[in-house]
Structure 1
Amino acid sequence: MDSDEIVPPEASQNVLPEKDLDEKYPNRPHNRAPTLAFHELYLGLFNPLSEIKKKPTGPAPARRKVGPQGKDSASLNPFERRRDVIERFISRWRKEVGDDIYPAFRLILPDKDRDRPMYGIKEKVIGKMLVKIMKINKESEDGYNLLNWKLPGQTAATRMAGDFAGRCYDVLSKRPMRTEPGDMTIAEVNDKLDKLSAASKEDQQLPILAEFYRRMNPEELMWLIRIILRQMKVGATERTFFDVWHPDAENLYSISSSLRRVCWELHDPNIRLEAEDRGISLMQCFQPQLAQFQMHSFDKMVARMRPTEEDRVFWIEEKLDGERMQLHMAPDESVPGSRRFGFWSRKAKEYTYLYGNGIEDENGALTRHLKDAFVDGVQSLILDGEMITWDPEQDAPVPFGTLKTAALAEQRNPFSNGPRPLFRVFDMLYLNGRDLTKYTLRDRRNALQKTIRPVHRRFEIHPYEEATTTTEVETSLRKVVAEASEGLVLKNPRSPYRLNERHDDWMKVKPEYMTEFGESLDVVVVGGYFGSGRRGGALSSFLCGLRVDDAHFSQGEKSMKCWSFCKVGGGFTAADYQEIRHHTDGKWKEWDAKRPPTAVVELAGGDAQHERPDMWIKPSDSVVLCVKAASVSVSDQFRMGLTLRFPRFKKLRKDKNWECALSVQEFLDLKSNAEQEHRDKEFSVDNSRRKRVKRTTKKPLTIAGYEEKDSTQYLGPSGHVFDELNFFVLTESTMPEKRSKTELEQLVKANGGKIYQTNTAAPDTICVAERRTVKVASLQKSGQSNIIRPSWLLDCVSQNTKDAGLPDFLLPFEPRHMFFVMEDKKDEITGNVDLFMDSYARDTTVDELKDILKQMEQKQEPTNQSLDAHAAQKVEAHIQEKIDAGYTAPCGWLFRGLTLFFPSPSKPRKTHCDEGDISGYDAASMEDPRLRLARNTARFAGAQIATSLNSSILTHVVVNSESVSSADISSLRGSLAARLGKKVPYLVGLGWLEESWDNGTLLDEERFQVR
């Protein structure tokens, strides 16, 4: 939950008078001179840091600066260069201004400044005010670009799409009030920003922004806007600034969340924090420990918690769907015997005003119920937990986003039966003056159990389960998902509490990462939203809809209308975006809020047009996406009234048009069926969209034979088999077919390769030749490069065009492909074929097969079996690496890793069956020709064939549904359900295997499940 939604009404009172500051911080430093000018920030700090963040585009400047310890700054790595820039700025501040750097740090790290409230203005409001201040027509190009900053603009604005501050600079630079840097000091800017944060209406905010416009040049204004939006993005984190400022700065910020304290209490780098000042303290918000993101497998996650032989236990907690909250309780010195409370969120926002400052606080939504919540003798404590919303009538948590409403309702009527805040405590960090963060989680939990008296459905201790195996994680995950919960958190009970850190001691497991849960749905794209930052200027997320069934229309009426259903922006790679653009280019239309295309796309909210897209597209012109989600939830933001929670792109359904996408009624039916099936599903980590290996593409040199304008006749199939490979073709080809040098070069280019006229013009250049010329002899004599015969090029192209499902598979070199082999490569290349010279990766021709059979008849004894095995392993590793990087698997690899069982009906038997066997089935009697062919195909494609259902690694049971009776199917299902402690395999028809083989890819089993 985003804590920015809840803003305390007294937030504007956070600015303390000077007198009060002196009383609260008696030892705070005072500057001896006025602060630096504001433009010194961007000239001496922001711009240099931004330049380091960018990739170098040219030679280093002739003039070099000396970095720390006298090093040449050009020789420093980026991290050292950033520190060098920050050190120079801080050193200058101390020398020219003084030791109080807090005014500068408030502008350098605006998102860490908790003393200045949120401004309450975002990009659109700033854009409107700038249009008024500069008196430009909002319908003009510049006005349009400011008000529609995510949309691609014209000329220079186009490159600023998605960067609002950059877009503002582009417009401001055309009509500046100043061209030279302004004269505003950092202190003046802070004073104006304090007033801006206190202003709540546009007529109060406009004069302040207008003064900034009069007194700053466009570049200053650009950085000011980034400060207001708290989006600096200069390439240096707060940790770097803290580390340069003082060695204890990060620690103090972690325990206090106060930028002011970091600057004032640590102004002298030679004075370190005392031991008693290094821990958390009462009524000082700290930065909590966070859970690490999920790894690839449960086994790996548990192993990272460092279990010992004596103690292999880890804890499983339900992940709550609320807001992380810390509660502080201290004695109230003004009223003897009473206590005062404080509440802070993860983002260090104080919510005491909402939940209460004491037992007697009539405005407290929680504390008034805590009179008997603590055992006798407890004077002070700090608790870490989650604030959630609980519905007493349903006796269940309320979905995300209702916490503030429930808290305000509880303030007005504390004893109603409506939704209320519930604080679930899962950690105790402080008790009666003692910091507990260094103690183990097990010890802290024992202290918590002995200290707290739960208050039913208002103040409770969050339960946990002890576990030692990953099977228990899967069981718990099934349980929480069935209850529509957020997920799990795995915790190491032997660990201390780590402030402001993500660590392997806490790891979260969410169902949206699982392959066996959640709806995988085919939805049609009906709208698009422009992105920001790196995705600026292009559609980065999509509004997806469900087809409205014909039953929703009058008789005889048919329409392509869709109801908005979900918004998908995660899981896309650059290649995915490119493919979607390819299919929809030129078909998008700008959304007109005054004349929305309701006949095609219907949004929620009527005139409010909830989740209104920037662009829209007709379903008949659009694409179908396969999306995966954690669950379905109720939402009034979409016309369906339902939406997907945590939707994620899975793949583009190029085989489907909009009419094949999911309809409203089909989705409702699917939802109903899925709710019944999810309990029996197995959970495993989703690696289906593992991050692909990023390739670096170098700009090709302009050389003879590679001009784009050259055109030649069609010389062979085109594709991508040679993508990002560099070639130097020295001679023509004579075997197995005659091709000129030019024809070979064109064949390479047609399949994605790049041609150079020397082997040193590009890295890893592949040299191709078939006869010994002067150049070839010279290259061979150098011994620095293999020389490949042209037959390898032809084999690669031929292999990748035989089956449309097998693109981009580069054949390994074989001895027959080599004109010259370097000594250290001979064993590797020999290992790519067996002792009869049969390739492990390439389809064999008829003539080659005849030669192989002749050699086999001669009964030649193998000379190096270990070498063959080693080579096969290397080829397997090479293929798996390509598949992991996103390439299509070869046909012999299609079912690798799967274990299939093929039951075949036989005469009923009266004998008692062993566990795992099926009455009426005999795996050995494979008399069905279709089933026998499927079994052989599966074995050829890499699958293991099980002989019974008792196999612990069984993944699929494949039956011929045409020849199996319903009674046999029922018997199968019963046996599968009884597999206690083992994975439940898919029960699919032969169509799954046959169509997967025909399409060259594993298809979704749910389409072929035997009912």
Structure 2
Amino acid sequence: RLGIADMTVLDALAIAYGGGKESRELIERAYNISSDLGRVAKVVAENGLEGIKKFKVMVFEPIRPMLAERLSSPEEILEKLGGKCIAEYKYDGERVQAHKKGNEVALYSRRMERISDQYPDAVELVRRSVSAEEAILEAECVAVDIETNELLPFQELMHRRRKYGVEEAMEQYPVSLFMFDALYVDGRDLTLKAYPSRRTQLENVIKENDRVKPARQIKTGNLKELENFFEEAIEDGCEGLICKSVGTDSVYQAGARGWMWIKYKRDYKSEMTDTVDLVVVGAFYGRGKRAGTYGALLLATYNHESDTFETVTKLGTGFTDEDLKKLPELLRNHIVPRKHSRVESSLTADVWFEPKVVLEVLGAEITLSPIHVCAVDSIRKGSGLAIRFPRFTGKYRTDKKAEDATSSTEVVEMYRNQLKQIGAS
């Protein structure tokens, strides 16, 4: 009520009961691993520093989250982390801390609020997919299109932040968990262990499945490899990367923001403001509700200079039930036994088509891509361009030949013209 900050209270406790500010670090550690300032104050007042030293990580007491610094240059990141790091996808979801004891599971937000009621499906995923009897694990809770396995943007997940209609929201916006840290497992406090050791423990207690996986990562000291992995993360629907120290001192710094973790996010993005007309060159089989039809289509732009079609995105969103029935029939006469000679693709589709059918598509933005080959080398050597979060508008461009589709050159111009600095007004 008086508006006194927690850190000021910790200073006061150190002076009053710890013999001076030099005991602040010990008292703060107790606070960071319990998030309970009242209990910390009670223990230090009644039992002094000896009581504080006995503070332990406990299931269902949220640990204050470790935070990352930010750099936008991969050169700076590698230099800061001693020349090598573990680079991990930074998923576009909600960070959760999952606590499990037997069959009891609780989820806590970054602000240490209990949010289990908003994500009953995530609670069940933890219950079924974590083999440890007791555990505190960190994960990113992400909205995922179960039929196409594509990650959805954070805005879609926000439909889950409600008190009412939870079951309906769970059906419409199911989530997956990408686990990224283990803080406590079966009586062992892992917060003072180096990150590589914590990651090993994490992988040992997860029963991986379609909806629960360890966060995707690579270990690298190679600048080009880091840049490519960053582009791949963006294309897969992530915000960027978290680059983590692999040193022996890479402990979990609860409640602190430091250089053990560094966010690698974009300074610029290229937002799409207009639709594009793209050519269907391949398809991937669906699953779940889309079993027996196509789950996603591989789309391409037209390159006038080489007279080829260059892949630019995978499309699995925006289709009605009628579209899903119509597409196999529409594309049947264009099936070819292997990739068409005029198609350029580094991806392998389940089914290939001759480039004939044109669809109108709207995406969220255009990004650099290590996978798609649209206008490869035009912006950065070794990278093509890709359309992120594409959605079918419902318009079949039967009035257009494949060669009349949006060209690779047009996509380059759209990328350059729409490029703007993130955070700029």
Q: Work out whether the TM-score is over 0.5.
A: yes
Structure 1 vs Structure 2: percent identity of aligned residues? 22
Partner SS for 2:33:
helix
Aligned position for 1:488: 241
Do residues 242 (structure 1) and 10 (structure 2) align? yes
- Contact 2:244–2:260, Cα closer than 8 Å, also in 1: yes
Q: How does 1:146-157 map to 2 (within 5 A)?
A: none
Q: How far apart in 1 are the matches of 2:246 and 2:165?
A: 35
Distance 1:266 1:480, change over 3 A: same
Q: How far apart in 2 are the matches of 1:982 and 1:329?
A: 43
Among 366, 371, 392, the alignment partner of 2:122 is 366
CA-CA distance at 1:315 after TM superposition: 1.2
Aligned position for 2:94: 323
Aligned position for 1:267: 45
Unaligned runs of 5+ in 2: 15-23, 275-316, 318-359, 386-414, 418-425
- Contact 1:245–1:269, Cα closer than 8 Å, also in 2: no
CA-CA distance at 1:304 after TM superposition: 1.3
- Number of corresponding residues: 289
CA-CA distance at 1:251 after TM superposition: 2.0
Partner SS for 1:401:
helix
Distance 1:471 1:433, change over 3 A: same
Distance 1:108 1:472, change over 3 A: same
CA-CA distance at 1:507 after TM superposition: 0.6
Aligned position for 1:475: 228
Aligned position for 1:287: 64
TM-score, L = length of structure 2? 0.58
Distance 1:369 1:484, change over 3 A: closer
Q: How far apart in 2 are the matches of 1:443 and 1:393?
A: 34
Distance 1:276 1:484, change over 3 A: same
Distance 1:978 1:405, change over 3 A: closer
Q: Which amino acid aligns with 2:10?
A: F
Distance 1:252 1:412, change over 3 A: same
- Contact 2:88–2:216, Cα closer than 8 Å, also in 1: yes
Distance 1:503 1:978, change over 3 A: closer
CA-CA distance at 1:349 after TM superposition: 0.5
Partner SS for 2:259:
strand
Aligned position for 1:253: 31
Distance 1:241 1:473, change over 3 A: same
CA-CA distance at 1:370 after TM superposition: 4.6
Q: How far apart in 1 are the matches of 2:35 and 2:95?
A: 15
Q: How does 1:129-528 map to 2 (within 5 A)?
A: 237-246=5-14, 247=24, 248-267=26-45, 270-277=48-55, 279-294=56-71, 297-307=73-83, 313-331=84-102, 339-355=103-119, 364-370=120-126, 372-375=128-131, 378-403=132-157, 405-406=159-160, 412=167, 416=171, 418-457=172-211, 459-494=212-247, 495-511=250-266, 513-514=267-268, 517-519=269-271
Distance 1:372 1:243, change over 3 A: same
- Contact 1:317–1:465, Cα closer than 8 Å, also in 2: yes
- Contact 1:406–1:421, Cα closer than 8 Å, also in 2: no
Distance 1:414 1:370, change over 3 A: farther
Partner SS for 1:453:
coil
Distance 1:479 1:433, change over 3 A: same
Q: Which amino acid aligns with 2:190?
A: L
Aligned position for 1:691: none
Q: How does 1:680-719 map to 2 (within 5 A)?
A: none
Q: How far apart in 1 are the matches of 2:158 and 2:65?
A: 22
CA-CA distance at 1:441 after TM superposition: 1.1
CA-CA distance at 1:476 after TM superposition: 1.7
Partner SS for 1:383:
strand
- Contact 2:81–2:245, Cα closer than 8 Å, also in 1: yes
Partner SS for 1:499:
coil
- Contact 1:407–1:421, Cα closer than 8 Å, also in 2: no
- Contact 1:365–1:411, Cα closer than 8 Å, also in 2: no
Q: How far apart in 1 are the matches of 2:61 and 2:43?
A: 14
- Contact 2:195–2:252, Cα closer than 8 Å, also in 1: yes
Q: How far apart in 1 are the matches of 2:384 and 2:232?
A: 16
Q: Which amino acid aligns with 1:453?
A: K
CA-CA distance at 1:367 after TM superposition: 3.0
Distance 1:484 1:411, change over 3 A: closer
Distance 1:285 1:449, change over 3 A: same
CA-CA distance at 1:318 after TM superposition: 1.2
Distance 1:261 1:674, change over 3 A: closer
Q: How does 1:709-858 map to 2 (within 5 A)?
A: none
Aligned position for 1:914: none
Q: How far apart in 1 are the matches of 2:364 and 2:113?
A: 43
Distance 1:263 1:346, change over 3 A: same
Distance 1:981 1:366, change over 3 A: closer
Distance 1:271 1:388, change over 3 A: same
Q: How far apart in 1 are the matches of 2:27 and 2:379?
A: 59
Q: How does 1:96-111 map to 2 (within 5 A)?
A: 106-109=1-4
Unaligned runs of 5+ in 1: 1-105, 110-236, 308-312, 332-338, 356-363, 522-545, 547-633, 635-668, 682-972, 985-1004
Q: How far apart in 2 are the matches of 1:258 and 1:673?
A: 42
Q: Which amino acid aligns with 1:368?
A: E
CA-CA distance at 1:245 after TM superposition: 2.1
Q: Which amino acid aligns with 1:393?
A: E
CA-CA distance at 1:426 after TM superposition: 0.5
- Contact 1:392–1:419, Cα closer than 8 Å, also in 2: no
Q: How far apart in 2 are the matches of 1:673 and 1:420?
A: 21
CA-CA distance at 1:486 after TM superposition: 1.1
Q: How far apart in 1 are the matches of 2:364 and 2:138?
A: 39
Q: Which amino acid aligns with 1:260?
A: G
Q: How far apart in 2 are the matches of 1:304 and 1:467?
A: 14
Q: How does 1:657-672 map to 2 (within 5 A)?
A: none
Partner SS for 1:293:
strand
Q: Deviations over 1:334-380 (max 9, x none)?
A: xxxxx21121111010113334xxxxxxxx333334554234xx221
Aligned position for 2:398: none
- Contact 1:316–1:489, Cα closer than 8 Å, also in 2: yes
Relative contact order (C-alpha < 8 Å, sep 6+): which is higher? 2
More helix by share: 1
- Contact 1:365–1:410, Cα closer than 8 Å, also in 2: no
> In angstroms, what is the RMSD of aligned CA positions?
3.9
Distance 1:343 1:370, change over 3 A: closer
Q: Deviations over 1:681-733 (max 9, x none)?
A: 9xxxxxxxxxxxxxxxxxxxxxxxxxxxxxxxxxxxxxxxxxxxxxxxxxxxx
Partner SS for 1:271:
helix
Q: How far apart in 2 are the matches of 1:368 and 1:1006?
A: 45
Q: How does 1:616-695 map to 2 (within 5 A)?
A: 675=366, 678-679=368-369
- Contact 2:68–2:263, Cα closer than 8 Å, also in 1: yes
- Contact 2:60–2:106, Cα closer than 8 Å, also in 1: yes
- Contact 1:490–1:509, Cα closer than 8 Å, also in 2: yes
